């Protein structure tokens, strides 16, 4: 049977969907998630710092283990997300004196990466280090305490804990060329030249039709690949201002198609993950009021046949 995953796999890639623990009790939802369309999943929240180390040096893996168990039962690989991010940090991290942040960071990465060793094929080690203008996010407590050195230190710590996982840096609004993508490119180039163990760059792909398609996406992915790293589309969704109409749907389908084709055109683009597959569980309406309809299945878990067909075609299917 032809599925998004079978088509992607024919080209040596995966096609995945994020998921989250509350949804795993929805049997209509899990029937599709584990039904063959997706060969990969990413936990949307389960492996973040507030879930895994809610109080200092007290680790909780229940939610992450549940996602792993679902994935293993359905033949899906797992991308670990994320070892280090300025969001969804428990309050105790922000309270730490600067002199204790590095040790806490290394302890967190070591413990979490060790627990999931052998169960995730990749990690988003550092998530969203840049502001949209390409400057470093100085509000991150890791940046505040350590400056940019926190990034290299995080990668080295992750590699020591799990030598086999592919280690990624991941961000949004870096999909097309521009100041933020240039900043990421320069960072990755520097890390590579310093021998820092970085294997990949994740491009989240949180797109919105009202803001246009990213500039020269394929060329952007290619220039990163040319640095000697893998690339991946890690959190794809294409939102619109509601309500849906035929024109917006057509634009959205073109965006999905463009992203898939950009990945397929870059040898080192290893796969595509959508940020959940159904509007029922999309993060968008909760954050962007009045926007949504961003995913290939609607809020009733019905496949959007036109959009789905466009993605199939872009993947080389019929």
Catalytic residues: 128, 235
From residue 78, alpha-carbon distances to 27, 124, 239 in Å are 20, 11, 25
CB 27 → ligand G3I: shortest distance, Å? 20
Q: Interface with ligand G3I includes 203 (CB under 6 A)?
A: no
Q: Interface with ligand G3I includes 88 (CB under 6 A)?
A: yes
Crossing angle between the packed helical segments 149-161 and 98-115, to the nearest 10 degrees: 30
Give the interface size with ligand G3I as a residue count (CB under 6 A): 9
Expressed in percent and rounded to 5, the helix, strand and coil fractions of the chain are 45, 20, 35
Quick one: DSSP state of residue 143?
H
Give the length of the chain.
318
CB 291 → ligand G3I: shortest distance, Å? 13
Structure tokens at 159: 């590699």
Among 17, 40, 45, 173, which residue interacts with ligand G3I (rule: CB under 6 A)? 45
Residue 84's SS3 state is: strand
Q: Interface with ligand G3I includes 42 (CB under 6 A)?
A: no
Stretch 112-131 residues interacting with ligand G3I (CB under 6 A):
127
Among 108, 235, 279, 295, which residue interacts with ligand G3I (rule: CB under 6 A)? 235
Contact indicator for 136, 179 with CB cutoff of 8 Å: no
17 vs 127 by CB, closer to ligand G3I: 127
Query: By rule CB under 6 A, what string of x and - marks binding of each residue 156-195 to ligand G3I?
Result: ----------------x-----------------------
Distance of CA 235 to the CA centre of its chain: 4
Query: By rule CB under 6 A, what string of x and - marks binding of each residue 239-278 to ligand G3I?
Result: ----------------------------------------
Contact indicator for 165, 117 with CB cutoff of 8 Å: yes
Q: Which of 79, 73, 1 is nearest to 37 (CA)?
A: 1
Contact indicator for 90, 55 with CB cutoff of 8 Å: yes
CB 286 → ligand G3I: shortest distance, Å? 7
Give the Cα separation of 188 and 173 in Å (integer). Answer: 16
Contact indicator for 240, 170 with CB cutoff of 8 Å: no
Give the Cα separation of 204 and 214 in Å (integer). Answer: 12
Q: Interface with ligand G3I includes 16 (CB under 6 A)?
A: no
Structure tokens at 257: 């198609």
CB 316 → ligand G3I: shortest distance, Å? 28
CB 195 → ligand G3I: shortest distance, Å? 28
45 vs 310 by CB, closer to ligand G3I: 45
153 vs 235 by CB, closer to ligand G3I: 235
Q: Interface with ligand G3I includes 87 (CB under 6 A)?
A: yes
Interface ranges with ligand G3I (CB under 6 A): 44-45, 87-88, 127, 172, 204, 235, 283
């Amino acid at each position: 049977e032809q599925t998004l995953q079978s088509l992607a796999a024919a080209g040596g890639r995966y096609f995945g969907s994020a998921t989250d623990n509350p949804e795993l009790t929805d049997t209509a939802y899990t029937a599709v998630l584990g039904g063959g369309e997706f060969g990969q999943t990413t936990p949307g929240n389960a492996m973040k710092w507030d879930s895994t180390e809610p109080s200092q040096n007290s680790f909780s893996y229940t939610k992450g283990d549940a996602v792993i168990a679902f994935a293993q039962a359905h033949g899906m690989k797992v991308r670990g997300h994320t070892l280090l991010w300025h969001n969804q940090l428990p309050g105790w991290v922000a309270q730490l004196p600067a002199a204790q942040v590095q040790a806490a960071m290394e302890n967190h990465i070591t413990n979490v990466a060790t627990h999931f060793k052998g169960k995730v094929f990749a990690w988003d080690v550092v998530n969203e280090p840049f502001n949209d203008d390409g400057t470093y996010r100085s509000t991150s407590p890791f940046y505040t305490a350590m400056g940019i050195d926190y990034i290299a230190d995080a990668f080295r710590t992750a590699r020591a804990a799990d030598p086999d996982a592919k280690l990624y840096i991941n961000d949004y609004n870096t999909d097309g060329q521009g100041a933020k993508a240039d900043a990421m490119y320069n960072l990755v180039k520097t890390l590579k030249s310093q021998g820092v163990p970085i294997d990949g760059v994740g491009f989240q792909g949180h797109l919105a039709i009202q803001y246009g398609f990213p500039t020269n996406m394929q060329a952007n992915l290619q220039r990163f690949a040319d640095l000697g790293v893998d690339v991946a589309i890690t959190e794809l969704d294409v939102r619109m201002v509601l309500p849906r109409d035929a024109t917006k749907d057509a634009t959205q389908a073109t965006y999905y198609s463009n992203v898939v084709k950009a990945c397929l055109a870059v040898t080192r683009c290893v796969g595509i993950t959508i940020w959940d597959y159904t509007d029922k569980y999309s993060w968008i309406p909760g954050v962007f009021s009045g926007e949504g309809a961003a995913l290939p299945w609607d809020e009733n878990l019905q496949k959007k046949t036109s959009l789905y067909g466009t993605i199939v075609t872009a993947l080389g299917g019929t």
